Amino acid sequence: MIVGVDIGGTTTKIGVVNDGRVTATKRIPTLGDDALGTEPGSAFADAITQTIRSMDASPLNAIGIGVPNGNPFTGSIDRAPNLPWKSDIPLARMLKDRMGVQCALGNDANAAALGEWKYGAGRGTNDLLVVTLGTGLGSGFIIDGRLLLGPHGNAGELGHTIAVMDGRMCTCGRRGCLEAYVSIRGIRQTYLELADSSELLQQEGVKPIADAAQNGDDAAVQAFRDTARWLATALANAVAFSVPERIVLFGGIARNGDVLMNPLCRYFKEALFYIYEGKVELMLSALPEDDAGILGAAALVDP
Amino acid sequence: MIVGVDIGGTTTKIGVVNDGRVTATKRIPTLGDDALGTEPGSAFADAITQTIRSMDASPLNAIGIGVPNGNPFTGSIDRAPNLPWKSDIPLARMLKDRMGVQCALGNDANAAALGEWKYGAGRGTNDLLVVTLGTGLGSGFIIDGRLLLGPHGNAGELGHTIAVMDGRMCTCGRRGCLEAYVSIRGIRQTYLELADSSELLQQEGVKPIADAAQNGDDAAVQAFRDTARWLATALANAVAFSVPERIVLFGGIARNGDVLMNPLCRYFKEALFYIYEGKVELMLSALPEDDAGILGAAALVDP
């Protein structure tokens, strides 16, 4: 049995994985309230430990942890802007101390890539790209049967490649990052620039825009088309780098179906350099949403 | 002893490499005149064979061949637009038959990357990007101590990534490829768009523009600045893929010194995502120009 720990900005999902299937799941808040004098992250490590002990996970072989800004080489969460800690948290070591089993930690986008590769739509490939579309844009590459980490553990990050020179301001302080266009925030911004009214933006997320697009709303249709075009160009450029056999799209935005996928497939074909024609499949994740992060985290063990 | 064969559009350089140094060089035309009834490429393979036999290359261990559109998996030159053959030429097999030694063939940009890695400015690195700036823009990645080939032998090609959506027409039929901006042709085009006169374009190449830039000609200075900015953005995006410890620039354009390198270093720093700050060196090739292609071709043997 492996436990997968999928850490998000507010909620952490903990799941027991047996033979590639999630057999039990619990959720706890991602919390940073450490008692005075204790090591930063202690309260959270304690909460994870208690939760795992309350689940049917024995014999437990290992724990895999997927987290934004997870550093696979140190096993630490490096100061992540959307997480509660202001210092690096050596969570792999802290859980190993508490649970007495091997703990592997990695960033969430790489976890998603490994999850798709081992258990999802990427099975059977040797070269794979998984792009996670959500609040941000994450990505992970499998190259010749190995997860691409780079010398510092942070390679394969498409979200902050520059898609449009002198483009939109990004949260990272630069202009034109792919994530400023292809993400929940990006699509909402694109819609705002195209629409006469911001009514659809009163709710969070992109579902209202996707629904409107499905009903033929011009600005909404165009917002998804523009998003598809930026993403298609970035994917075609990524193909020129590692030539994945398959690209798997994962996350909330990807689940908006035809309004994104139809123009995406068309633009991707147009943007692809001819020597790569017919060599790359583009498809949606096949993993159940609730399980994907847990399976990905579990996949970090023995990647 | 290894013989390196560096095949260009009009001239092929053949050199003897001993312990990382070129000890002898000869040049022959890259010719496609095959006698009726002979295998396409025979005349060229015969000419290479005769040239090697006329040189002091014994005991000969192996031959390495660097060539545009070289396919490392088949050992063939796949129909290259700028070479004289209209079919695939299995040159590695043809030379092996004639010379009786192991022959390795690969594309010229990957040869340049291996040459820099083994013998040049990339020595001692485990993760390297080499960009060749000339008639076109070629690139080769070393990732975790291995040349990146991809499943079809054609990975790591930055030249036809899209740098500017809806940008300039490229020779490949698409718009906005990096090579349409950052190459001899690209710089000349950029200068043409900026200058009041096309006088500097009456000579071939970019040297007249580089000389004018050194003398303070506004359009020429701006042409190199713009080129540097497009290249810097592409390099920063490439860093987000594989996080090379070093980027080595190779080829004619790179030798124009400060007019390119000063703005390039400035823009590269601006374009780099902060998590990669201080992790990537940018430098010029240190290999003698005449030897580089031969050393690179030789490096294809046991990459």
- Going from N- to C-terminal start, the domains of chain A cover 2-111+291-299, 123-286
Q: Is the pLDDT of residue B256 over 80?
A: no
The CATH code of the domain at A2-111+291-299 is 3.30.420.40
Contact A32, A12 (CB under 8 A): no
Which pLDDT tens digit goes with each residue over B113-152? Answer: 999 999 999 999 999 999 999 989 999 999 999 999 999 9
Average pLDDT of the residues in A65-71:
95
Average pLDDT of the residues in B36-42:
90
Q: Is the pLDDT of residue B260 over 70?
A: yes
**Between A20 and B91, the higher pLDDT residue:** B91
Alpha helices in chain B (DSSP H): 42-53, 91-99, 108-119, 184-194, 207-214, 218-242, 258-271, 289-299
Compute the distance between CA of residue A7 and CA of residue B266 in angstroms, rounded to an integer: 37
CB B233 to CB A165 under 8 A? yes
Q: How open is the CA angle B127-B281-B205, to the nearest 5 degrees?
A: 100
Average pLDDT of the residues in B246-262:
88
Whether the CB of A274 is below 8 Å from some CB of chain B: the reply is yes
Q: Is the pLDDT of residue B254 over 90?
A: no
Whether the CB of A88 is below 8 Å from some CB of chain B: the reply is no
Which pLDDT tens digit goes with each residue over B173-187? Answer: 999 999 999 999 999
Q: Is the pLDDT of residue A302 over 80?
A: no
The pLDDT assigned to B289 comes to 78
Compute the distance between CA of residue A289 and CA of residue B210 in angstroms, rounded to an integer: 55
Q: Lowest-pLDDT range, A115-129, B28-42, B203-217?
A: B28-42
User: In whole numbers, what is the pLDDT of chain A averaged over residues?
Assistant: 94
pLDDT-based confidence at A37, cuts 50/70/90? confident
A8: nearest Cα among A59, A69, A61: A69
Which pLDDT tens digit goes with each residue over A86-100? Answer: 889 999 999 999 999
Average pLDDT of the residues in A162-170:
96
Provide, rounded to the nearest whole percent, the portion of chain B with pLDDT above 90: 83
Compute the distance between CA of residue B110 and CA of residue B140 in angstroms, rounded to an integer: 5
Cα separation values, B28 from A30, A240, B45, B59, B131, Å: 68, 33, 11, 22, 26
Q: Could you tell me which residues come within 8 angstroms of residue B178 by beta carbon, excluding any fewer than 6 positions away?
A: B137, B158, B159, B160, B161, B162, B163, B230, B231, B234
The pLDDT assigned to A303 comes to 66
For residue B55, give how far its alpha carbon lies from the nearest alpha carbon of chain A (Å).
37
Q: Is the pLDDT of residue B265 over 90?
A: yes
ipTM reported for the complex, 2 dp: 0.93
For residue B28, give how far its alpha carbon lies from the nearest alpha carbon of chain A (Å).
29
* Among chain A residues, CA nearest to B267: A165
For residue A150, give how far its alpha carbon lies from the nearest alpha carbon of chain B (Å).
6
A135: nearest Cα among A212, A213, A78, A187: A187
Tokens, residue A125: 């490939």
With beta carbons under 8 A apart, name residues in chain B contacting A158. 240
For residue B229, give how far its alpha carbon lies from the nearest alpha carbon of chain A (Å).
9
Whether the CB of A151 is below 8 Å from some CB of chain B: the reply is yes
pLDDT-based confidence at A214, cuts 50/70/90? very high
| Contacts with A, B 128-147, CB within 8 Å | 141, 143
Tokens, residue B139: 């690139």
Q: Is the pLDDT of residue A205 over 70?
A: yes
With beta carbons under 8 A apart, name residues in chain A contacting B161. 236-237, 240-241, 273
CB B156 to CB A229 under 8 A? no
With beta carbons under 8 A apart, name residues in chain B contacting A154. 243, 275-276
CATH class as words, domain B123-286:
alpha beta
User: In whole numbers, what is the pLDDT of chain B averaged over residues?
Assistant: 94
With beta carbons under 8 A apart, name residues in chain A contacting B279. 151-152
Average pLDDT of the residues in A111-135:
95
CB A162 to CB B237 under 8 A? yes
Q: How open is the CA angle B167-B170-B171, to the nearest 5 degrees?
A: 170
Average pLDDT of the residues in A41-58:
95
| Secondary structure letter of residue B177 according to DSSP | B
Provide, rounded to the nearest whole percent, the portion of chain B with pLDDT above 70: 100
Compute the distance between CA of residue B257 and CA of residue A207 in angstroms, rounded to an integer: 52
A161: nearest Cα among A83, A231, A264, A70: A231
Average pLDDT of the residues in A198-208:
92
Whether the CB of A155 is below 8 Å from some CB of chain B: the reply is yes
User: pTM to 2 decimals?
Assistant: 0.94
Whether the CB of B21 is below 8 Å from some CB of chain A: the reply is no
Q: Is the pLDDT of residue A103 over 90?
A: yes
- CATH topology of A2-111+291-299 equal to that of A123-286? yes
pLDDT-based confidence at B303, cuts 50/70/90? low
Tokens, residue A161: 């490649």
CB A243 to CB B150 under 8 A? yes
